[in-house]
């Protein structure tokens, strides 16, 4: 199944607790679209949040994040890893 990196903006000052809560919100509903959200990172200074997931499509990632109230600004399929 493909892997995706998605990017969120507008989270300046995000705390570890808020990042964890947002990630847990995705985990609670991810099975509805056969998505597995594997990890999330944040840069509180810029307000950028990054998530890596395994999913059948970018649209599935978009649906889960949007239902959780945090629609991504960008989604990239990860086609090359080392």
Half-sphere exposure of 69 (CA within 13 A, CB side): 9
Give the separation between CA 56 and CA 69, rounded to whole angstroms.
Answer: 21
DSSP code for 69: T
pTM listed for this prediction: 0.94
Q: Structural domain tally of the chain?
A: 1
- CATH number, domain of 48, equals 3.30.70.3090
Listed in sequence order, the DSSP H helices in the chain are 16-29, 58-67
**Domain extent at residue 21:** 3-78
Are residues 14 and 49 in contact, defined by beta-carbon separation less than 8 angstroms?
A: yes
Q: At what angle do helices 58-67 and 16-29 cross, to 10 degrees?
A: 120
The string of pLDDT tens digits covering residues 35-82 is 999 999 999 999 999 999 999 999 999 999 999 999 999 999 999 999
Q: For position 39, what pLDDT does the model report?
A: 97
């Amino acid at each position: 199944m493909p892997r995706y990196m998605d990017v969120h903006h507008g989270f300046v000052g995000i705390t570890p607790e808020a990042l964890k809560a947002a990630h847990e919100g995705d985990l609670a509903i991810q099975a509805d679209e056969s998505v597995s959200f594997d990890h999330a990172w944040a840069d509180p200074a810029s307000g950028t949040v990054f998530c890596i997931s395994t999913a059948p499509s970018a649209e599935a990632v978009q649906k889960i994040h949007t239902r959780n109230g945090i629609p991504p600004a960008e989604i990239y399929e990860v086609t090359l890893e080392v």
